[in-house]
Structures are given as structure tokens and as C-alpha cells.
Amino acid sequence: MLAIILTICAFINVPLFVAAINFTTRLTTYNDTIVRNLFYPLSAAAYGNTPGKCFRELFKSGQVVQTSKVQCVPGNKTHECFGYVAYAPQEKIIVLGFRGSKSSSQIEEEKRWTKSKTLVKFPFGGYVNPYFYKAFTNLMKGGLDRALQEITKKYRNAALWITGHSLGGSMAALAAGHIVQNNYVKPKDITLVTFGQPRTGDALFAKNMDKTIINSWRVNHKHDIVPNIIPVNLHNFVYQHHNREIWYNNDMKPGQSYTVCRPGDDLYCIRSVDPKLLNWVDHVTYFGKAAGFATAGCSKKFYNVRLYLLGQ
């Protein structure tokens, strides 16, 4: 029933409310319809400063309870990171969303940090990228952590959806580990879906994620450059993706096929792409929409891929 309603809403381009629809809020298998029509808009909403506009279109009874906008890392006040916590009472879903990089200069700063600074120890286990970890901890200190503690205590039976695109995907993964490490919710209540996520940590971090966050999917579009932008071997560490990659080796139109990749950093999915073919356009466009299409609501189509990440 959910799939039918979502398909109809997408076809006639009307605001999408899922209130009163009976569907599972804890994804145990990958679901293209839910990821395409719910998780992706939720991640895209983080590119604006008012994610509630999109959230209320998706969940009529929903509201954003906390936003956090901070300087990502010391030394550069122009690069801001953003995240939000929202709750849909009728569906009993808590959402934690993270913004990705918003400019080419921020991407270059992330590259400099990655190349010049070694990985840092992550309390959940393993070692992780220094830029991603610093940005994540700053956001959590900026109000997200307190809001998460309060809302997960108040709604103990709610599902927790965590999402983000690009840098936001890495912070979403770190958030999942942090939440489990601090017992905010049970691992089975978490669904983690990211888009164009770069390698975030080492093999031990990936192993702990795979063992603990079972309902986790990294969605990748065709020749997206970012999932492979951080090399496997760096600073005497082995960077490794956690489970599980979903690879759309196509335009991601409704009904197109995707590959449920093998566990870990699968050599036969996006990692198999010729490096010469990797590009930024596939990174900033998922399901035919730009990564930030939902900044002013998520029912309107938005195809201007140059506005985000390309620095134009």
C-alpha cells in the first residue's frame, strides 16, 4: 500500500503525507520506494536552514525539535555544518539529518584535513576521519546531542532514522555509532541510510558498524566520485566502508535496477568504476534531483545541480 501511494504522489507531484499510512518504520531490507521518497528528501532538507518545511510535507503531524548550525572545524568561519532532529508522532519516527558539503572550497578543506591529519580514535570503536569527527562533535555539542537524549527518553518506542548526503552521510554514520555507544536507543530501532558517503573510518570502525548497526545502507549513484575519494590506504591506516552498499549503475529513475552489494567495501560495485569516469555530477544528483532540492520544501522538483557542491 505504501509503495502504491508513494508512486501516485510522485507521479502527480503533490505534497507527500505519510501520516495514517501503515508501513514498517524499521527497515530490515532495502526499500527503494521508502529511500527514494522519504530518506532522500530528509537528507536534502538538511541543506537548508528550515528543514521543517520538507518534514511537514512528508509527515503531516511532524515537527523539527532542534537544529544546530556550527563552524565545522576551527580556523574557517565560512564553512558551516548543520543538522536537525525531528519527530513524527503519528508514525513514531525520530529523524536525525545531517548536511553535506556546500561548496568546492569546503571540499578542498576536507581534503587538506584528510591528507595532513591522522585518523582519530572513536569511542564506539576504531579510528575515523579527523574532519568528519570534529564536525560531528561540534554539531552534537551545538544542541543535537541534548535533543536526542531528551526525545529518545520521551519516545522510547519510536524508530530512529538517521540520514545524510556526502559529508552528512559520514556524520550520520558517526551518529549511529555514538547513539549505540551511549545507549540512547537499541540498535534494532536504528535505520541508517546515506547517499554518496565517503569512507569514514578504518577497518575496526567498519567492523563495529557492521556488527551493531544492522539496518544500514550506503546508496551510491553510478560514477559518484565521493565514495572513492578517500583512498583505502592513508596514514598507515586502512580506510574501509561499512555495510551495505546499494549501487545504482544508472540514472536512478523509478523502476530502474540496483545492486545490493556484497558486505564491506565491495570491489565489484562502485569501487569497480574506472577512476577516469568518476565525477561530481553523479555525486550531487540522486534519484533525478539535486542533493539540496528540498531546502524550501520537498514536493517541488529541483534539478539545478550546480547550486550545491560544485561551487557555482
Query: Measured between alpha carbons, how far is residue 275 from residues 228, 231, 278 in Å?
Result: 9, 12, 5
Give the strand order in the sheet containing 127-128: 120-121, 127-128, 201-202, 237-240, 233-234
**Omega before 244 cis (within 30°)?**
yes
Which of the four pLDDT bands, split at 50, 70 and 90, describes residue 23? low
DSSP code of residue 305: G
Does the pLDDT value for residue 18 go beyond 90? no
pLDDT for residue 2: 31
- Reference 63, options 72, 55, 71; nearest CA is 55
The pairing of strands 159-165 and 233-234 is unpaired
Taking 50 as the threshold, does the pLDDT of residue 19 lie above it? Answer: no
In angstroms, the Cα distances linking 113 to 82, 99, 134, 171, 255 are: 19, 19, 10, 16, 39
What mean pLDDT comes out for the span 125-148?
Answer: 97
- pLDDT tens figures, 207-216: 999 999 999 9
pLDDT at 24: 73
Given a contact cutoff of 8 angstroms between Cβ atoms, the answer to whether 45 and 54 are in contact is yes
The pLDDT of 144-170, averaged and rounded, is: 98
Q: How far apart are CA 312 and CA 55, in angstroms?
A: 27
Q: What number is the average pLDDT over the span 230-247?
A: 92
Domains of the chain with CATH codes: 2-297 (3.40.50.1820)
Specify the pLDDT at position 75. Answer: 82
Q: Which residues contact 92 (CB under 8 A, 6 or more apart)?
A: 25, 155, 157, 158, 159
- Between 300 and 249, the higher pLDDT residue: 249
Tell me the pLDDT band of 168, cut-offs 50, 70 and 90.
very high
**7-21, 23-37, 69-83, 102-116: the lowest-pLDDT one:** 7-21
pLDDT number for residue 163: 99
Three-point CA angle 245, 248, 249, nearest 5°: 120
Q: Is the pLDDT score of 5 beyond 70? A: no
Bigger pLDDT: 243 vs 235: 243
Short-list 311, 244, 312, 279, CA closest to 109: 311
Say yes or no to pLDDT of 279 above 50: yes
104-116 and 130-139 helices cross at what angle (nearest 10)? 120
| Alpha helix segments (H runs only) across the chain | 2-12, 32-34, 40-44, 52-58, 104-116, 130-139, 145-154, 167-181, 203-212, 281-284
Query: Looking at residue 69, what DSSP letter applies?
Result: E
Mean pLDDT of the residues in the chain: 89
Question: So what's the pLDDT on residue 300?
Answer: 54
Higher-confidence residue: 10 or 128? Answer: 128
Residues 70-126 pLDDT 10s: 999 988 888 999 999 999 999 999 999 999 998 899 999 999 999 999 999 999 999
Q: Tell me, what's the pLDDT at 77?
A: 80
pLDDT of residue 203: 95
Q: What is the percent of the chain where pLDDT is above 90?
A: 80
pLDDT, tens digit, for every residue of 288-306? 999 999 998 987 544 333 3
Which residue carries 522519504 as its cell? 38
